[in-house]
Chains A and B, each alone.
Chain A
Amino acid sequence: MQVAITVNGVVHERDVDPRTLLVHFLREELDLTGTKIGCDTSQCGACTVQLDGKVLKSCTLLAVQADGAEVTTIEGLAENGEHHPMQTAFWENHGLQCGYCTPGMIMASAAFVRDNPGASEGEIRHYLEGNICRCTGYHNIVKAVKQVADAAAGA
């Protein structure tokens, strides 16, 4: 099937097998390998992208369902060569170790804070249920997200 999907501001027209998952489309067709696959069952959130601004697990959507949509992946989060504040916060707060969950964590957290400036620690911990990290024990991830949430509330 023919699809036209805008990814990180660039329109990509492709003929795809209808069963192709969006995450495979991003990784295999477009070589945007920053989006990861961690579980196949929509628990881990390593494949999280933003679709028309909404947080979405790209292993749960067919590429054809994204036809006409605008997708942002981790590769498209920085603007004008500057890290997104969430990327900076993860770096500054040691919010990552092996880095495999990190793109999904950052994509989910960036959208969460955008919609919930000033979110409390409890709200952040609850929200992050959809993203699994095996390395950090979440402590510094929560710290990073809180830093951005606090800054967003103060702006």
Chain B
Amino acid sequence: MSTRIFGSGIKRREDPRLITGEARYTDDIKLPGVLHMAVVRSPYAHANIVSIDSSAAEAMDGVVAVYTGDDLEGLAGLPTAWLIPDSDLKTPEHPALAKGKARYVGDGVAIVLAGDRYQAQDAADAVVVEYEELPAVIDPEEAAQEGAPLIHDDVEGNIAFKWAPFDKEASDAVFEAADVVVSERILQQRLLPTAMEPRSAMAQYNPATAELTLWCTSQNPHIHRFIISAVTGLNENKVRVIAPEVGGGFGSKIPCYPDEALVSWAAMQLGVPVKWTETRSENYLITIHGRDHVQHVDMAASSDGKILGVRATVYAGMGGYLSTAAPGIPTILHGLLYVGPYTIDSVYCESIGVMTNGTPTDAYRGAGRPEATFLLERMIDNVAKKIGMDPAEVRRKNLIPAFEDGYDVAAGLTYDSGDYPVAFEKALGMAGYGEFRRQQKSAAAQGRYLGIGVTAYTEMCGLGPSQVAGAVGFQGGLWESATVRVTPTGKVQALIGASPHGQGSETTLAQIIADELGFAVDDIEVIHGDTTETPMGWGTYGSRTTPVTGAALAKASQKLKEKAKTLAAHLMEASEDDIEYADGSFSVKGSPDQTQSIQDVALMAHLAWNMPEGMDPGFEESQFYDPPNFVFPFGTHIAIVEVDSETGEIELQRYIAVDDCGPQINPEIVAGQIHGGVVQGIAQALCEGVIYDENGQLLTGTMMDYCMPKADMFPNFELGETVTPSPHHPVGVKGVGETGTIASTPTVYNAVLDALAPLGVEQIDMPLTSAKVWQAIQDANGGGS
């Protein structure tokens, strides 16, 4: 038996084009005669647009056209595509260019089309817009108060939705009867997703055929096609969306944005290709932001550490408009996660979606689940402190015991499989938890402040059953489809509807096919990102490509293998019952010399000279796959930090991550997902955070001002794994794209607060910059230095 390719950390098949600079991202693609689009953007967070004078701009060199919101005839506004039921949802109009009023800094007011990007930007600067500034509001809790500036006339009180699906009376009863209740106001600060490739879009329209091609930075080109068709009025079969190489997304390339609609519309108006690429400052102003919750959280527990209930009121900032999936993030993807890996029998969540004068928010890596995991883990540490029990012990006491096939939790989900205690004890063992507690004590005696944070988590990903998607108002399905096509010479093209953009899926998905069919990985090309070339799919987000597309490919491959077996038996004039298969080769039991390789069979299927009765020619199978449930990866993360009490500086000394995503197809790729996710989550705890001033001006508008994590902030990570297959998945795998981000923020936050406990510091709003930590130490010691 040869080594299985499934489970092998082979080098990525994507990399040769990436390490040589030969990969083509959207902005790298050139079309002759292309015009560049620049967008005139509101410098005010909230302002009436009094007048727009584009005459000077129109007269400038290279300028072909200037359009304002009133000119966009035939271009519909951008839709919101997650319509949460039973929430009194309002979906204010979102025109591609603001009409009458701008609602955040960066809101588009006019576009300029010119011969090159320098000319376009010069002319955009020459468009004179007169504004009447209005009071602005950024904080979602403030925006929900009476008297706050009204952002949309048809969204009363700025409340876009109120979602509270759980039984409030039952929850209140649990809290009234509990020995211990702890409370905290938690700020989940706004974050900038910051995919390293800024967004870009280029459209080409052929008037003779009425066909539009849109190249864009998309995580889901089929959804982009759907929306672009809807807003332009073109038939969907006349719209081709191509996501070429895409340089990261983290959720920020899920939504369909005004800019993508505008280049499409302008290309249709002018009959020439139109391109737009955002600058990083533009990206920070207009590409969605993540998080932005103000949470009022309570946890009830018994005096011996049994967690009895959790409840929260969440004000979730939506920004100036409701982005594509925005309402689903602080609701379905958040409140349903309030149990975590614990036996918590009572949950309550009231999530209030609030319009503000900030940039629209939407899914950012983890999307709702990090905000849920953080509040649970923070409150567990608060309970531990209150009852004087070690926080690891409180967690141990409340973990759900191992289960293999389904576990119903109070939040309404059915977890697929889990063995939380094993991952938990493994992580504690790797960290040397008991020994650390002793070191911490002796360090404290020397005036050194060490801290440890422990997070046990589970999350739902692999989104998701389409019936559930429909029930929760998602305006799409959440299945995937794939075609495995074998050429006459035995080479494989695997066509998928999902659209990976850095995850390494061209490698891992090829490993699934290779494992099922015996082809060499190097003979398998995974093709994605083009709505004309690939079958329908809903995209790459929610850690769903490996679980959902992977399942479609596994099942398509299994169908091909059945066909191959029947054909091989026929060709070898043997009974199918006597056919044996190993490593891509069929043989007849008892006569090992007689074989048909999978390549032989593929050729014969194409030639179709000698087919069994009733078998169609060709060697290709397609599969639609709708998962019966989400998948629920889990694990335990531990951080060890030291805080300098003189300066407030935090040193992250160790980071241990034990994750269980089922069987790992490629352990190196899994590790990479965890490393990257962990850094993103730690950065939320320690340094990242959007800052607006009181007028709604973005003060963290460049990488000079927004703290991106750098290499020297981190130690080498210590990774461990456990393997608990998903019972409902054809090859048992779970998603791993978001686990690191979900687990790491509370882990590091709690470690820092653990270190600060002897100094009397109980709470600091994230991010834990040295200035804030220093100030908190001063405040705890009698206010001021």
Interface positions of A (Cβ within 8 A of B): 17, 19-20, 27-28, 31-41, 43-44, 46, 73-75, 77-78, 83, 87, 90-92, 94, 96-103, 106, 121-122, 124-126, 128-129, 131-142
Closest chain A residue to B246, Cβ basis: A98
A54, B579: Cα distance in complex, Å: 63
Tell me the chain B residues, 1-48 only, with Cβ under 8 Å from chain A: 9, 11-12, 14-25, 27-28, 30
In the complex, chain B residues 573-607 whose Cβ is within 8 Å of any chain A Cβ: none
Contact, CB under 8 Å: A137 / B676: yes
Contact B197 A98 (CB under 8 A): yes
> How close is A93's CB to chain B, nearest CB, in angstroms?
9
| Segment from B232-240, B395-403, B496-504 that makes contact with A | B496-504
B702 touching A125, Cβ below 8 Å: no
In the complex formed, the residue of A with least CB distance to B668 is A94
Tell me if B248 is interfacial: C-beta within 8 Å of chain A. Answer: yes
Whether a CB of chain A sits under 8 angstroms from the CB of B532 is: no
Contacts A136-B675, A142-B711; A100 near B20 (Cβ below 8 A):
no
Kindly state the separation between the CA atoms of A141 and B675 in the bound complex, as whole angstroms: 11
Contacts of B714 in A (CB 8 A): 125, 137-139
Count of chain B residues with Cβ under 8 Å from any Cβ of A? 59
* A10 and B28 alpha carbons, distance in the complex (Å): 21
- Verify A40–B711 contact, CB threshold 8 A: no
Q: How far is the CA of A17 from the CA of B62 in the complex (A)?
A: 14
A-contact bits for B695-730, CB 8 A (1 contact / 0 none) = 000000011100010111010110000000000000
Of all chain B residues, which has the CB nearest A19? B118
Q: Is the CB of B196 within 8 A of A101?
A: yes
Taking A28-B116, A44-B280, A106-B19 as given, write out 20 further A-B residue pairs in contact, using a Cβ cutoff of 8 Å, ordered by the A residue number: A17-B118, A33-B24, A36-B25, A38-B280, A44-B708, A46-B196, A74-B20, A96-B12, A100-B197, A122-B712, A126-B711, A128-B710, A128-B712, A129-B712, A134-B195, A137-B678, A137-B679, A138-B679, A139-B714, A140-B675
Asked whether A34 and B672 contact (CB < 8 A) given A94-B12, A128-B711, A137-B717, the answer is no
Instruction: Identify the interface centre among B281, B671, B675: most chain A CB within 10 Å of its CB.
Output: B675
- Asked whether B198 is an interface residue with its Cβ less than 8 Å from the other chain, the reply is yes
- Most chain A CB within a 10 A radius of its CB, from B20, B118, B246: B20
Whether the Cβ atoms of A38 and B711 lie closer than 8 Å is no
Asked if A139 and B712 make an inter-chain contact with CB atoms under 8 angstroms apart, the answer reads no
* In the complex, B439 has a CB within 8 A of chain A: no
In the bound assembly, the distance between CA atoms of A121 and B715 in angstroms comes to 10
Instruction: Tell me whether B194 is interfacial, beta carbon within 8 Å.
Output: yes
Beyond A39-B280, A90-B15, A132-B703, is A74–B21 a contact (Cβ under 8 Å)?
A: yes
Of chain B, the residue at the smallest CB distance from A31 is: B30
The answer to whether B247 has its CB under 8 Å from any CB of chain A is yes
- Whether the pair A102, B279 counts as a contact (CB closer than 8 A) is no
* Chain A CB within 8 A of B458 CB: no
Asked whether any CB of chain A lies closer than 8 Å to the CB of B245, the reply is: yes
Chain A residues contacting B677 (CB-CB under 8 Å) are 137
With both chains docked as a complex, state the minimum distance between the C-beta of A127 and any C-beta of chain B, in angstroms. 8
Query: Quick one: which of A39, A132, A135 contacts B676, CB cutoff 8 A?
Result: A135
Question: Residue among B19, B20, B250 with the most chain A CB within 10 A?
Answer: B19
Most chain B CB inside 10 Å of its own CB: which residue of A28, A75, A98, A100? A98
Q: How far is the CA of A136 from the CA of B15 in the complex (A)?
A: 14
Distance (whole angstroms) from the CB of A104 to the closest CB of chain B: 9
In whole angstroms, how far apart are the Cα atoms of A97 and B672 in the complex?
8
Within 8 A of A (CB), among B359-403: none
B118 to A91, Cβ gap below 8 A? no
Bound-complex Cα distance A73 to B22 (A): 12
Given A91-B12, A136-B672, decide whether A98 and B247 contact each other with a Cβ distance below 8 A.
yes
CB-nearest residue of chain A to B705? A41
Chain A residues within an 8 Å CB radius of B511:
none
Chain A nearest CB, measured from B700 CB (Å) = 12
Using Cβ atoms and an 8 Å threshold, which residues of chain A touch B17? Answer: 99
Bound complex: CA A37 to CA B710 (Å): 18
B residues in contact with A43, CB < 8 Å = 702-704, 708
A140 to B674, CA, bound (A): 11
Q: Which residues of A contact B16 (CB under 8 A)?
A: 91
Bound CA span A151–B544, Å: 39
